[in-house]
Chain A
Amino acid sequence: MASIPQKVVHQYLRHNKKFPHVWCAGCSNGIVLGAVIRAIHELQIPKDDVMMVSGIGCTSRMPVYVDFNSLHTLHGRAIAFATGIKMVKPNMKVIVITGDGDATAIGGNHFIHAARRNIDLTVLVLNNHIYGMTGGQYSPTTPEGDFASTTPYGNIDEPFNICQLAMGAGATFVARGTAFHALETQTLIKEAILHKGCSVLEIVSSCPVIYGRLNKKGSPSRMLENMRDNSINIKAAEKLPPEQTEGKIIRGILKKDDKAVEYYDKYTQLVNRIKSKNK
């Protein structure tokens, strides 16, 4: 195996899986994949203990490339499959990789219920505001007025705020990063994995080939720079008056509740309670 380059990411990629990957040139999914790998590497989690589960879409192709336990499921259902795995193998680090359409449209029900249960899943939602794999239809996070192949006259739907949705549903760790802020996002991924309970991390990402072109967002690098220019860390935002942060992407940890008991732990407590009663 001497021919394998020994950069951190290469140690985690499946070399027997034929690259190149399916993502378009300029897509930010690769940046996020790198951040995920580095976060796991820094946490020194053994590969055998990592379970990566995804649904359907561009983002959901990620698990096939990495040398973890991996499961590429049905559209919207990654969290449901992951719930089954977590309840049987509670010691595994179960990471759900999903997109805005996968998680909040077809999978919206599973998303809110995992948050409500506070089951220990790390849900990474890569939000590129569009259905990329099917050719650019509008998603539940496409901004109002934006164009997609199915909103040729502009989008009239009100978009979801993924983090607010997760917080409202009861997720005990909610954060937001962007593909531009790769190192910050890497830290957030680490925090999300370490949190015991349902963690939702929205990662604002870019689809320059479809969403970018339809909405004249410029080059891939321009779209990444937009994330830099249009976002603000929550710590900085807290010091500013609301009018100065309006319309900005708020980055960082938006909610962290370490007191809530995680779902499998609750189940274990229940089992212990009834077993001791039956003795």
Chain B
Amino acid sequence: MAKEEVKAPQELEKDWVLMQGNEAVAKAAIDVGVKFFAGYPITPSTEIAEILAEELPLNDGVYIQMEDEISSMCAVIGASLAGAKSLTATSGPGFSLMQEAIGFAKISETPCVIVNVQRTGPSTGLPTKPGQGDIMQARWGSHGDGPAIVLYPDSVKEAYELTIRAFNLSEKYRTCVILLMDEVLGHMREAVLLPDISKFRVINRLKPTVPPEWYKHYEEDQKYLSPLASYGEGYRFHVTGLAHDAHGFPTNKPAEVKTMVTRLKKKITHNIRDIVQIESFMMEDAKVAIFAVGIVSRAAKSAILKARNEGLKVGLLRPLTIWPFPDEAVQKMLRNVETVIVPELNQGQLIHEIERLTKDKTDSDIVKIQKANGELITPNEIYKSIKEVI
């Protein structure tokens, strides 16, 4: 494995900490102002709950362990509508149970964050082993045709940063944001130097400025953003999972329903440049691109460094926002590439998006490396694949 030694400057050494991905998420949650966590124990996400059970009571927040993941997700939505930044954390089986309420968060446009520390599936699968099988579920898991914002960190430091970003996007666009993590990232400890929270821009939901009688719960501006009142502040609004009008009252009038579904979609597509983040690593002259997310991209980077030492022109594209899929950026960056290698810890999910966006390429130009047995994809496996295609 190529060496990526992290050297701490002498004067800062005291600020470096050894931290787990799950710890980083919990720390970010406290730092960004989370005041409510509801969850249910599940490996490999439990540390997030354990830390917040300790920290939230000390930080004017509420920790509650619910009877299951269904109620956890529902309590999170309730708490958010009452005004608190709210979080839950889970893994595959719990994530499946949350899907109905995730749809409710979407249609009711209620900000909240769900952390899914993925394990190998399907079903109970391998609770302590990594898998990237929830990529499509994070997008399409809840029934109906809702919007999705899904972020995917590759390191402990980024788990911290993207947790903050998840809350920012969720508060700004009034929707649930999902943070997908790999089991190994949740449990792995890395030396990290975390910037102080004051270095981050923290976005809080817009509050209404109009008197209650003028307030519409779903009023929008040209960017499809809208203020959000909280329960108990005099606005007495109605929220339902039914299709609704701008006031939040149920409707089945096609025109009003169309306005609602269009808004749900447009608030994402119209703001896609603000939402999407993608890392491009050594892509300038690359003839081979590796497209990977999370922990797999770390292995890919090692393989790339080794290949580059031998003069092979290979780079990495890594979306930090996997949904909405960064179509434009990916298409642009893959234009001059001859081959794309897609390593992933499942039986083929990200590859469908790459195939969709690279219609000019033949099947042999898109190489898959897929593993869903609980093992990681090693740098060497990716390196071998690079050698095979160049």
Contact = CB atoms under 8 A, between A and B. Distances in A.
- A and B: real partners? yes
A47 B232 CA distance: 9
Interface of A: 14, 16-18, 47-49, 51, 53, 63-64, 67-74, 77, 79-85, 87-89, 91-92, 109-110, 113, 267, 270-271, 274-275, 278
A88 B36 contact: yes
Contact of B84 (A67, A88, A270): A88
Q: Name the prevailing secondary structure of the B interface residues.
A: mixed
Contacts of A91: 232
Interface string B65-93: 01110111011111111111010000000
Given A64-B249, A74-B101, A47 B236 contact: yes
List the 10 closest A-B pairs by CB distance, nearest first: A84-B78, A84-B75, A80-B71, A80-B74, A84-B79, A88-B82, A81-B78, A72-B240, A113-B67, A85-B78
Interface in B41-81: 57-58, 62, 64, 66-68, 70-72, 74-81
Contact of B238 (A70, A82, A83, A89): A70
A83 to B, nearest CB: 5
A88 B62 contact: yes
Contacts of B71: 77, 79-80, 83, 109-110, 113
A214 B82 CA distance: 42
A85 B68 CA distance: 17
B250 A64 contact: yes
B236 A85 contact: no
B36 A74 contact: no
A89 B67 contact: no
Interface of B: 35-36, 38, 57-58, 62, 64, 66-68, 70-72, 74-84, 86, 100-101, 104, 230-242, 247, 249-250
Given A80-B70, A84-B78, A88-B82, A72 B241 contact: yes
Q: Name the prevailing secondary structure of the A interface residues.
A: helix
Nearest to A113: B67
Contact of B241 (A17, A63, A73, A88): A73
A84 B232 contact: no
Contacts of B237: 69-70
Contacts of B62: 87-88, 267
Contacts of A73: 74, 104, 241
With most chain A CB atoms within 10 A of its CB, the pick from B58, B80, B104, B249 is B249
A63 B238 contact: yes
Contact of A85 (B35, B81, B240): B81
Contacts of B233: 48
Contacts of A113: 66-67, 71
A271 B59 CA distance: 9
Contacts of A49: 232
A278 B54 CA distance: 13
A91 B233 CA distance: 12
Contacts of B77: 81, 84
A91 B250 CA distance: 28
B38 A17 contact: no
A84 B82 contact: yes
